[in-house]
Structure 1
Amino acid sequence: MKTRIKVILSIIICIIVIMMGIGLGSIYVPGSHIINIIAGKIFGLPLNPDVKEVSVSIVWNLRLPRTILAFLVGGALAVSGTVMQSVLKNPLASSYTLGVSSGASLGAAFVIVTGFSIPFLGPFTLPAVGLTFGLVTVFSAVKFASKMDKNLENNTIILVGMVFSLFVNAILTLLTSMAKEHLEQLTFWQMGSFALKDWSNALILLPIVLVGIIVIESYSKELDIMTFGEEQAFTMGVDVQKVKWILLGLSAALTGSAISFVGVIGFIDLIAPHVVRKIFGSSHKTVIPMSMLFGGAFMVLCDLTARTIISPSELPVGAITALVGAPFFAYIYFSKRKEL
C-alpha cells in the first residue's frame, strides 16, 4: 500500500476516533449533531431543531475541549518519544528517561503542598512551575553529561538522565511523606487525568505543540542522517552536538508542556514511534506527523475508556495507557528481538 493511501486512511481513522471521543458518554450525541454544533459555534450557522441545548453544552463546553486537549497531549508525547529514540538510538529512550516527568512532578508537588501561586498566572501556576522544573531537570542532566563526556555519547546522556530522575524522585517521595494531607491529590496528579479541563487549557497548549512539532519537522533530514551513526552524520556536515541539544530540548519541552497540564501519562511516547515506523517506514518527514496523529488518537481512546468504563466514576488515564501500553510495547519490543 502506498504511503499516501496510508496517510489518508490514518487521517480518516483519526477523525472517527475524535468524533467518538466527543459523541460517546453518559449522553450519546450523534455525529451529525456534533458537526452542526461546531459549525454553529464557529461560523454562526443555525442549529437543527432536533439538536438539544443540553447536547450543545456537553459538546462545546465539556467534551470538545477535553478531546482536543487529549489529542494534543498524546501527539506531543508521541513526537517527543519519536525524537528521543532517534537521537539516542535506543528503543526505550524517552523524555521520562531524562527526568522530565520527575522534574514536573516535583514542581507540581511544590505548588500543591505550599499553595504557591503566581499572580498573573493564577490557576496556570501549576503547569507553568511543572514545565519549568521538568526543563531544568533535563537541561541539568544533559549539561552534566556534557561535562562528564565531551562527545556527549548517547549512553552517557541516558545514564545521567536516569540518575537525575531517581534523585528527583527521591526528593518527591520525601516531600510526599511529609505532606500526607495532600497525598491523594499528589497521587492522582501523578496518574494523569483530563477531568475538569476546559478550553483555556487546550488553547494554551495548542500553539506550544504546533510550534514544537513544526520546528522538529524542520530537522527531519538531520534525524534521518543521524540514524546512520554520529560519525557518518558529522562527515555529512551535521553538527551532531548542537542538533542533539536542540532536539532534546524541544522534546523535553513538548513532554513537559503536555504533562504539566494533565499529570504524568506514560507509554504513549514508547508505543507510538514503533507502530508508526512499522507502518510508514523510517523517514522522519512522515514519521513525525504520523506519530502526532497516532499518539493523539490513542490518547483520545484511552481517555474515552477512562471516563466511560465505570461511569459515572472516572479512572486516571495514566492507568489505562499503562494497562494497554505495557503488554503492547513488550510484544513489539520482544518480537523485534526475535527477528534479530
Structure 2
Amino acid sequence: MKTSIKVIISIVFCFFIIILGVGIGSVNIPPSHILKILWSNILNRPLPVDIEANFVSIIWKIRLPRAILAFIVGGALAVSGSVMQSVLKNPLASSYTLGVSSGASVGAGLVMITGFSIPILGKFTLPFVGLLAGLLTVYLAIRFSAKIDKNMENNTIILVGMVFSLFINAMITLMTALSRENLQKLTFWQMGSFSLKEWSDVVVLFPIVVLCITILMKYSKELDIMTFGEEQAMAIGVDTKRVKWILLGLSAALTGSAIAFVGVIGFIDLISPHVVRKIFGASHKLVIPMSMIFGGAFMVVCDLIARTIIPLSELPVGAVTAIIGAPFFGYVYFSRRKVE
C-alpha cells in the first residue's frame, strides 16, 4: 500500500475516533447530530430543529474540548517519545526517563499544598509551575550528564535521568505523607485526568505543541542521521551535542506542557512511535506527524474507556494507559532481547 494512502486512512480513522469520543457517554449522540452541531457553531448558522438544545451544551462545552485536549496531549506525548527513542537509540526511552513527570509532579504538588497562585495566570498557575519544574529537572539532568561525560553518551543521560527521577519521586512521597489532606488530589493528579477541562485549556496548550512539533520537523534529517549512530552523524557534519540539547529540550517541553495540564499519563509515548514505525518506516518526516495522529487517537480512546467503562464513575486515564501499555512494554523489551 502506498504511503499517501496510509496517511489518508490514518487521518480518516483519527477523525472517526474523535467523533466516537465526542458522541459516546451517559447520553449517546449520533454522529450526524455531532456534525450538524459543529457546522452550526463554527459557521454561526441556525441549529437544525431536529437537534435538542441540551445536545449542544454536551457536545460544545463538555465533550468536544475534552476530546480535542486528549488528542493534543496524546499527540504531544507520542511525538516526544518518538524523538527520545531516536536521540537515545533506545526503544524504551521517553521523557519520563529524564524525570519530566517527576519534576512536574513536584511543582504541581507544591501548588496544591501551598495554594500558591500567580494573579495573572489564575487557574493556569498549576500547569505553568508544573511545566517549569519538569523542564528544570531535565535541564539539571542533562547539565549533570554533560559535566560527568563531555561526549554526553546516551547511557550516561539515561542513568542520570533515572537517578534524578528516583530522588524526586522520594520527594513526592514525602510531600504526600506530610500533606494527608491533599492526598486524594495529589494521587489523582499523578494518574492523569481530562475531567472538567475547558476550551481555555485547549487554547493555551495547542500553540505550545504546534510550535515544538514544527521545530522538531526541521530537525527530521538530523534525527534520521543520528538513528544510525553518533560517530556517523559527526562524520557527516552534525553537531550531535548541540542537536541533542535542542531535541531533548523540545521533547521535554512537549511532555512537560502536556502533563502539566492533565497530570501524569504514561506509556502513550512508548506505544505510538513503535506502531507508527511499523506502518510508515523510520523516516522522521513521517514518524513525527503520524505519531501525533496515532498518539492523539489512542489517548481519545483511553479517555473514552476511562469515563464510560464504569457507569456514573470515572477512572484516571493514566490507569487505562498503564493497563494497555505495561504488557506492550514487556513485549518490546523481551522481543528486543531475543533479537540480540
TM-fit CA distance, 1:311: 2.1
1:336 is displaced (CA, Å) by 4.2
Give the drift of 1:328: 2.5
RMSD: 0.9
Offset, 1:124: 0.5
Quote the offset at 1:339 in angstroms. 4.3
Q: 1:144 — aligned with what?
A: 144
Alignment of 1:154-165 (within 5 A): 154-165=154-165
Contact 2:226 2:233 in 1 (8 A): yes
Residue 71 (1) aligns with residue 61 (2): no
What is the distance in 1 between the residues matched to 2:292 and 2:261? Answer: 18
Instruction: Measure, in 1, the Cα distance between the counterparts of 2:304 and 2:35.
Output: 19
Q: Deviations over 1:262-316 (max 9, x none)?
A: 0000000011111110111100000100000000000000000000000211000
The equivalent of 1:92 in structure 2 is 92
Report the 3-state secondary structure (helix = DSSP H, G, I; strand = E; otherwise coil) of the residue aligned with 2:95: coil
Q: Which residue of 2 aligns with 1:282?
A: 282
Give the aligned partner of residue 41 of structure 2.
41
Within 1, Cα distance between the matches of 2:159 and 2:306? 34
Q: Output the CA distance in 2 between the equivalents of 1:115 and 1:82.
A: 36
**What's 2:80 paired with?**
80
CA contact (8 A) 2:81 2:269 kept: yes
Work out the CA distance in 1 between the residues paired with 2:83 and 2:115.
35
Q: Contact conserved, 2:92 with 2:333, CA < 8 A, in 1? A: no
In 1, Cα distance between the equivalents of 2:26 and 2:176? 35
Partner of 2:229: 229
SS at structure 2 position matched to 1:302? helix
1:109 matched to 2:109 = yes
* Contact persistence 2:131–2:256 (CA under 8 A): yes
Q: 1:36, CA displacement in angstroms?
A: 1.1
Cα distance, 1:97 vs structure 2: 0.5
Per the alignment, residue 324 of structure 1 pairs with 324
Q: How far apart in 1 are the matches of 2:189 and 2:320?
A: 14
Aligned to 1:272: 272
- What's the counterpart of residue 167 of structure 1? 167
Structure 1 moving runs of 4+ over 4 Å? none
Q: Distance between the aligned counterparts of 1:22 and 1:332, measured in 2? A: 32
Residue 183 (structure 2) aligns with = 183
SS of corresponding position for 1:46: coil
- Which digits, 9 at most, give the CA deviation of each residue in 1:149-185, with x for residues without a partner? 0001101100111111111111111111110111010
Within 1, Cα distance between the matches of 2:279 and 2:260? 31
Q: 1:24-67 deviations in whole A, cap 9, x for unaligned? A: 11111111111111111111122211111110000000000000
* Pair 1:134 & 2:134 matched: yes
Normalising to structure 2: TM-score of the pair? Answer: 0.98
Give the whole-Å Cα distance in 2 for the aligned partners of 1:40 and 1:243.
Answer: 46
Residue by residue over 1:187-216, the C-alpha shift from the partner in whole angstroms, topping out at 9 and shown as x without a partner, is 000000000101010111110111111110
Letter in 1 for 2:141: A
Deviation per CA, 1:125-153, whole angstroms, max 9, x where unpaired? 00000000000000000001000000011
SS in structure 1 at match of 2:81: helix
Aligned residues, how many?
340
Equivalence map 1:27-38=2 (5 Å): 27-38=27-38
Superposed displacement of residue 337, structure 1: 3.8
- The answer to whether the Cα contact below 8 Å between 2:78 and 2:270 also exists between their aligned partners in 1 is yes
Alpha-carbon distance in structure 2 between the residues aligned to 1:108 and 1:2: 45
